[in-house]
Amino acid sequence: MAADIRTLITPEGLARFQAELKQLQAERHEVCAIVSWAAGNGDRSENGDYIYNKQRLRQIDKRCGWLARRLKNATLVRPEDQTANGKVRFGSRVTYIDEEDRSHAVRIVGYDEADMARGEISIGSPVARALMGKAAGDGVEVQTPQGVKYFDIEAVE
């Protein structure tokens, strides 16, 4: 993803990213202190504390850089400020029934904050793209890697 591309993010996603960045920055100070202490203990090539914490420091720096870039390029979208009342839009919670009469509840979020364990799907996913702009009671046809699927939207929040 190019650095100049704006990415959509929900208020909850923004808060999660900011909290993670703050936590990692605090952890970084602790790890730096351990690396400094371990470096003073002599031969670094066989010093487990030095090697492990130097590696952890690189991981923290990489993740902090990624989070900082995402936060810099994030466009906060508050679902309550959108005007498509009753229709699926970014940040909507959607309940739909699949072809096997199973109910699914998902929330449409930004690319970086999607997490199926929380029921959050990316705005770029085939299901989210098919749901966008639809309302409760609408039928939806979704092209998936397994073929065409049909859903009926039960509710949109």
Residue with tokens 């299901």: 127
Count CA atoms within 13 Å of residue 151 on its CB side: 28
- What's the token pair of residue 107? 């929330």
Instruction: Please tell me the pTM assigned to this model.
Output: 0.78
- 131 pLDDT tier (thresholds 50, 70, 90): very high
Q: Mind listing the domains of the chain with CATH numbers? A: 7-76 (1.10.287.180), 79-156 (3.10.50.30)
pLDDT at residue 3 above 50?
no
pLDDT at residue 2 above 50?
no
